[in-house]
């Protein structure tokens, strides 16, 4: 994807009808040379633009990127068997719903990494993020309750961004 910031009149790039993931990629490409504004594909947004958008690809479906199968994630006392979809903590089984398993597997796949609401939505629910973190927040709340019985594992909130798995000991 190439972006010609000189096409913008006053340092703005208007992304009309693109997914949030595509808009994020545009923002990454233009860095601090322009402000990136995302808008739904509506007549009002096209009026702001003054013409049909050029130079940007159409948004595609989100890439779910499931965790690799057939491997085991060992994070301190946490063991996540992706193929068997089993979790043990210090050798004790932890029974999770399919969604809770996918959420924990995502968080455990890159320890200490902050996972954004959008990344978790794409990875766990296989849908695009629409800006409301409630579904992710509720699932994390349920998973935290299950992890409460085990010391050394915590899902930390990063306000306004998302979550990360913290393993101690």
Confidence of residue 59 (pLDDT cuts 50, 70, 90): very low
Q: What is the mean pLDDT of the chain?
A: 78
- Residue 134 pLDDT > 50, yes or no? yes
Q: When comparing pLDDT for 18 and 146, which is higher?
A: 146
Which of 9-18, 31-40, 91-100, 128-137 has the largest mean confidence?
91-100
pTM value is 0.60
- Residue 83 pLDDT > 80, yes or no? yes
Cβ neighbours around 125 below 10 Å, total: 17
| Closest of 66, 67, 158, 77 to residue 112, by C-alpha | 158
Q: What is the per-residue pLDDT for 86?
A: 96
Q: When comparing pLDDT for 57 and 108, which is higher?
A: 108
- Residue 131 pLDDT > 50, yes or no? yes
Q: What is the per-residue pLDDT for 46?
A: 43
Tell me the β-bridge partners of 38: 15
CA triple 25-160-59, angle to 5 deg? 25
Domain boundaries along the sequence of the chain? 5-49, 72-167
Name the DSSP class of 98.
H
Percent of all residues in the chain with a pLDDT value above 70, rounded to a whole number? 75
List, in order, residues 6 or more apart from 83 with CB less than 8 Å away: 69, 70, 71
| Closest of 91, 108, 16, 7 to residue 58, by C-alpha | 16
Under CATH, what is the fold of the domain 72-167?
Arc Repressor Mutant, subunit A (1.10.10)
Q: What is the per-residue pLDDT for 124?
A: 93
Give DSSP secondary structure letters for 7-59: GSSSSEEEEES--HHHHHHHHHHHGGGSEEEEE-SSHHHHHHHSS---S-PPP
């Amino acid at each position: 994807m190439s972006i010609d910031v000189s096409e913008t009149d006053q340092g703005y790039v208007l992304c009309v009808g693109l997914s949030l993931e595509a808009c994020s990629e545009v923002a990454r490409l233009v860095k601090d040379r322009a402000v990136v504004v995302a808008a739904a594909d509506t007549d009002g947004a096209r009026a702001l633009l003054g013409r049909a958008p050029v130079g940007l690809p159409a948004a595609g479906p989100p890439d779910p990127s499931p965790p690799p199968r057939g491997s085991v994630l060992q994070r301190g006392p946490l063991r996540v068997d992706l193929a068997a979809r089993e979790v043990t903590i210090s050798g004790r089984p932890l029974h999770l719903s399919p969604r809770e398993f996918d959420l924990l597997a995502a968080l455990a796949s890159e320890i200490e990494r902050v996972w954004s609401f959008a990344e978790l939505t794409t990875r766990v629910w296989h849908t695009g993020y629409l800006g409301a973190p409630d579904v992710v927040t509720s699932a994390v709340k349920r998973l935290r309750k299950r992890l409460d019985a085990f010391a050394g594992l915590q899902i930390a909130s990063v306000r306004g961004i998302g979550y990360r798995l913290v393993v101690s000991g």
